Amino acid sequence: MAVPVWGTLCCLASWLAGNGVVVRWLPENINSLADEAEALQVVAFALVGLAFVAVGVALFGLMWKFDAAHNPQPARYIHGHRGLQTVWTVVPTVALIGLLAVSLQARWDLNAAWLSTAGGGPAGAAEGQPQSPQYESPQYEVLGRPFEWRVRYAGQDQRLGTTDDVLGEVNELHVPVDETSLVALKAEEAVQYLSVPALRLTCKLVPGRVQLARFSASKMGAYEVVCCEQRPQAYYRVVGRLMVETAEDHRAYLQRLQLQQYQREFSTAAEAQRFAVGVSFLQVNDVPEANGGVSNARPAVAPTLLSFPTRGAL
């Protein structure tokens, strides 16, 4: 009976944790877009917990009532009870259909919230009208590689895959607080299972496919990014960090990454110095040689993931 009792206590603790009665055994939810999903999870836990308690109580009561010491007559076997079979088939079916309906409604509400905050829609769209996600471009890219996460940020044009992309530090993603972030998730050569518990975000990454994840972090701090894929190799060590910071700190961080990137890409120190004082190298027109003696040419290709600064797993 230890297992049913322990399971019942865990279900009760998870229910009370949602009301702040006891310390939460799940990380704090900092994703404002996941509130409805977490509420649905609490409802599912409650239904399963009630069913578990009911089964445990019924099992214990029947064992107590029909104890062999108090019932000397032999056991009587039956081949089934149509009424009971109907009840324990119909009731779970109705409960599952209800959970499915609520889940679909939560998904539709979440999609509506995403669309209402979407930007970059087609020209001529009505002001305030939700835009289609196909007109959006992710601001961040996370690539799962063996034992590490690689990060890339969109540049000034707010689009990935262009010449002004910014390569981030390995295993570390920086996002601004209280802003909706759209991340493109990829895997390089093996299936990865990315999980950010504080965002209530989990995603199976398959090589050759791009998964889009949207969230809005509402609390600053450092949060864990892990790989939950079960493999004999040490994939449990694929640990990164999600850094939620102010918009000012986020811009300063990207500027620092840009400076480091162009110091690696350009051969002359003069070009890096001009970038450091605020002259962009990504303008279409070159600056005349007479204005400084340095051509402001656009790089031929976008930065590649092969030129990341190395950093060990955290």
Instruction: Let me know: does 313 contact 238? Beta carbons within 8 Å.
Output: yes
pLDDT score recorded for residue 34: 81
**Tens digits of residue pLDDT in 109-147:** 776 665 554 443 333 334 444 444 444 678 999 998 888
Residues 6+ apart with CB under 8 A from 55: none
Number of H helices, E strands in the chain: 5, 10
pLDDT of residue 120: 38
Average pLDDT for residues 84-95, to the nearest whole number? 90
Contact 287, 280 (CB under 8 A): no
Position 202 confidence tier, pLDDT thresholds 50, 70, 90: confident
State the pLDDT at residue 89: 92
pLDDT in tens, 258-268: 888 877 665 45
CA 229 to chain centre: 15
Which of the four pLDDT bands, split at 50, 70 and 90, describes residue 283? very low
Q: What is the pLDDT of residue 231?
A: 66
Least confident of 70-74, 111-115, 203-207, 235-239: 111-115
pLDDT digits (tens, 9 = 90+) for 99-111: 888 888 877 877 6
Give per-residue pLDDT as tens, 56-71: 888 888 888 888 777 7
What mean pLDDT do residues 180-194 have? 88
- Give the CB-side neighbour count of residue 306, counting CA atoms within 13 A: 2
- Tokens (6 digits) for 70: 């108090």
Residue in this structure with the two tokens 């062999």, named with its chain if needed: 68
Query: What class, spelled out in words, does domain 135-284+292-307 have in CATH?
Result: mainly beta
- Residue 73: what are its φ and ψ, rounded to 5°? -70, 150
User: Tell me, what's the pLDDT at 313?
Assistant: 35
Q: What is the pLDDT of residue 67?
A: 82
Q: What are the extents of the domains in the chain?
A: 2-66+82-115, 135-284+292-307
16 band by pLDDT with thresholds 50, 70 and 90: low
